[in-house]
Structure 1
C-alpha cells in the first residue's frame, strides 16, 4: 500500500476458510474487493493447532465444493498442514486478491458519506462494505479459576503442539470437547499420566451402519438446524478423526488409562476440586449418541436402505472405577501433575470494529451474517445460519448468501432514475 488512501468496494478481514470462501463468491459476482490477513492464509491451522491434528470430518465432506484434497482419499481425515495448504491453493485457483502480513487495526463509519475508514498496519483504506471473516477462534480463553500463583506449567490448547513440549510429570486436561479428548488421548499414549476433566458434551458416533456421522447429520437434516437448543449453546462435541477416525468413548478412554474427573470447580493452592457430575455428563453424552443411532435406524427403515445392521454399537462397557467412585479432589503435587492444558475454547475479538453491530453483551447482531450496521457483515461464526456454519463446507454456503446480499445492495446503490420526474 502507499500513503494514498486505497478505495475498495468490499474489504474482507481475515484469510482463513471464511475469507477465502468470501473472496471466491465476490469474484464470481464481479465485486471489487480486497482480503487482508495479518498473518498467513489459514494461519490458525498452521500455528494454533497441535502437530498431529487432522480434520474431524472426512475429506469428501469437509471441503469446498470446487476442489478436492490432494493426497487424501475421500474417506480419509486430512492433516492440519494439508488443510492450510488446501486453502492457499484454493485462493490461487481464482487469483484471490489477498494481502498477507497486514493487520486491520480499526474500522469506523465515515461521517456524512458512505462507507468506512479502515486503519491498517500499512495505511488507510476506504471501503463501502466490510466483511468480518475472522471466525470464532480469535482469543483463547483460560477461565478465572486457573491458579495464579503456581509452579504448574499452564497452556491453552491453542499453544499445545506435542507431548515433548511438556515438562516431566502428569497432565490435567480441562475440557473434553474434540480438542481436549484428542490431546488427552495423545498424551496418555505417549506415556503421560493424564487426568481429563469432562463437562457436558455431545458424543456422536464416528460412523454407524457404514456411514460417517457427517453423512447422517446431512440426510437427517441436522446440519441445517437453524438454532441451538436453549441452554446447549456452549455444549462441546466430542468427535475425532485421529488414527483413521473413531468414536469417542469415555469409558474406553478410562480403561486405556486416562483418569476421568468431573467439571473442574476451583483450585486452592495445589488442590483442585471437581464437580460430582462425571457420570451424569458421560450418561447424557450416551443419550445424545443413542438418539442419533435411533434417528439413523428410523431413516433406514423409512427409506428401505440396505445398510448393514450394527447392534454392537449400542453396547457400552461397564462403568470404570473413576465413574463409580469419582475423584472430587486431587492434590496435584501428590499426584505428580506438573502441567495443565486448558481446552476451554475461544472468544471472538472485535475490538477493532467500532460500529453499531453489537448487543449489550458485545455479541454480533446479525441475521445470517447481515449485521445491524448497514454495510457490515459477519462470517464464520457458530450458528451463523445453521449448525454447519463453522464447518468448511458450511462457511462456503454462508459466504455465498452474504455475497448475494452485497450484490443486491450494489444494485440499489447503482440505481439511477431514467427521468427524475417520473416518480411521483
Structure 2
C-alpha cells in the first residue's frame, strides 16, 4: 500500500481473529475488500499477553471450521504463539487481502457522496463500508483507586509477561477472572507470596464426566444465549487451559498458600482495605459450578448417555483461614507487597471513528454487528449476537452474518444502478432521430 487515494468496496480494520473471519466470508461472497492491520496478523496473541498463556478452550473448539490444529491433540490447549500462527495460516489459505503495518487514524462519512474517507498512516482510502474488527481489548483499565506510590510496581495484566520481570516481594493481584487467576497461580507456582482479590465470578468445571465445559455449554444451549442475564454484567469467568486444563478452585489455591481477599475497596497511606464479601463471592461461584454439574447430569440421564460417573467433582475444600477469618485491611509495607497487578479488564477506544455509531456511554449501537450508522459494522464484540461471540468459533459465525448483510446491501445498490441504466437507455431511444 502506498500513499494516495485508494477506493475499495469494504474496508476491514484489524487482522486478528475477527478481521480474518470477516475477510473469509467477504471473499466467498465476491465482495472486494481490504484488511488493514497496524502491527502483524494476530499481534495481540503474540505480544499482548503473558508468555505462558494458552487458549482457554480446547483445540477442537477454539478454531475456525475450515482448518484444524493438525499438530495438536484435539483436547489440548494451544499456546498463544501457536494460535497466532494458526491465524496467519488461515489467512494464507484463502489469500486474504491483508496489509500489515498500516494504522487507521480517522474514519468519517463523506459529504455529498456515498461512503467514508479513511485516513491511514500511508494515505487516504475511500470505502463504501467499514467493518471495525479491532476487538474489545484495546485500552487496559486501571481503576482510579490505584495508589500513587512510587515505591510500588503497578502494572496491568496486559503488561505482565512472567514472574522474573517483577521485583522481589509479595504480590497483590486485583481481579480473579481468567487472566488474574492464571497469573496469580503462575506466580505462586514460582514461589512468590500472592494475595488474590476475588470478586463475583462464574467458575465452571474445566471438564466433567469426560467432556470439556465447552462441550457442555454447547449441548446445554448456553452458547446460544442472546443476552446476558440481568445483574451479571460485571461477573467474570474463572477458567483456565493452563497445565493441561484444570478447574479453577479458589479454596484449593488457598490450601496451597495463596491468600484470598474480597473486592479491593481503597488505598490510604499504604493501607489497602477490602470488601467483606469474599465468602459470598466464593459461594456464588460454587453455585455456578454445581449448577453446571447438575445440568450435565440431567442431560446425561435424559439422553441415556454412557459417560463415567465423577463423584469427586463435588468434593469441596474446607474454608481456609483467609475465608473464615477474612483480611479486611492490609499494611502493604508490613505484608511485604512490592507489586500490584491490575487484572481489571479493558475499555474500547473509538476516538478515531468519527461517525454517529455510539450511545451516550460511547458503546456501539448495533444489531448483531450491523450499526445504526449505515455502512458501519462491528465485529468481535462480547455478546455481539450470543454468549459464544467472544470465542474464536463464535466470531466466525458473527462474521458470516455481517458479510451476508453487506452482500444484501450491495444488491440493493446494484438494483439502483440497473434502474438508472434503464432510464438512460430509454432516454437514448427517445432522443434518437426518426429513421436513424
- Normalised by the size of structure 2, how large is the TM-score? 0.95
Q: Report the equivalent of 2:316.
A: 316
1:47 corresponds to: 47
Aligned counterpart, 1:299: 299
- Give the corresponding residue for 2:287: 287
Q: C-alpha distance in 2, partners of 1:59/1:409?
A: 35
For 1:351-362, list aligned pairs within 5 A: 351-362=351-362
Shift of 1:419: 5.0
List structure 1 runs of 4+ shifted beyond 6 angstroms. Answer: none
Aligned residue pairs: how many? 421
Distance across 2 between alignment mates of 1:289 and 1:150: 40
Give the corresponding residue for 2:196.
196
User: Which deviations, in whole Å up to 9, do the C-alpha atoms of 1:67-101 show, x marking residues without a partner?
Assistant: 01142110000000100111011101111000011
**Separation of aligned partners in 1, 2:13 and 2:251:** 43
Distance of 2:10 and 2:59 partners within structure 1: 31
- Give the TM-score, by structure 1 length: 0.98
Matches within 5 A, 1:160-171: 160-171=160-171
C-alpha distance after superposition, 1:202-252 (max 9, x if no partner): 000000111000000000000000010112112110000000000000000
1:135 match: 135
1:81-230 → structure 2 map (5 Å cutoff): 81-230=81-230
Q: Deviations over 1:5-28 (max 9, x none)?
A: 100000000000000100010011
Deviations 1:157-185 (A, max 9, x none): 00000000000111000000000000000
Over aligned residues, Cα RMSD in angstroms?
Answer: 1.0
Partner of 1:330: 330
Aligned partners of 1:154, 1:2: CA distance in 2, in Å? 41
After superposition, give the CA deviation of every residue in 1:321-362 in whole Å (9 maximum; x if it has no partner): 100000001111101110000000001111111101100111
Q: Which SS does the other structure have where 1:15 is aligned?
A: coil
Question: How far, CA to CA, are the matches of 2:130 and 2:385 in structure 1?
Answer: 19
What secondary structure sits across from 1:223 in the alignment? helix
Could you tell me how far apart the structure 2 residues matched to 1:269 and 1:235 are? Answer: 30
The answer to which of 143-152 and 26-35 deviates more is 143-152
Partner of 1:29: 29
**TM-superposed deviation, 1:309:** 1.2
SS at 2:340 equivalent? strand
> Alignment partner of 1:410: what SS?
helix
State the structure with more CA Rg.
2
- Which residue is equivalent to 1:398? 398
Aligned residue in 2 for 1:65: 65
Q: Shift of the alpha carbon at 1:2?
A: 3.3
User: In the TM superposition, what is the alpha-carbon distance from 1:307 to its structure 2 partner?
Assistant: 0.8
Task: Quote the residue 2:429 is aligned against.
Answer: none
SS of residue matched to 2:222 = coil
Alignment match, 1:263? 263
Structure 1 regions of 5+ residues with no counterpart?
none
What whole-Å deviation, never above 9, does each CA across 1:264-311 have from its counterpart, x for those lacking one? 000002110000000000000000001111111111111111111112
Distance of 2:195 and 2:3 partners within structure 1? 55
Structure 1 residue aligned with 2:76: 76
Shift of 1:420: 4.7
Question: What is the alpha-carbon distance in structure 2 between the residues aligned to residue 3 and residue 295 of structure 1?
Answer: 57
- What is the distance in 1 between the residues matched to 2:399 and 2:127? 18
Q: Would you say 1:6 and 2:6 are equivalent positions?
A: yes
Cα offset for 1:3? 3.7
Q: Tell me, in whole angstroms, the C-alpha distance in 2 between the residues paired with 1:13 and 1:180.
A: 29
- Deviations 1:123-168, CA, capped at 9 Å, x for gaps: 0000000000000000000000001233100000000000000001
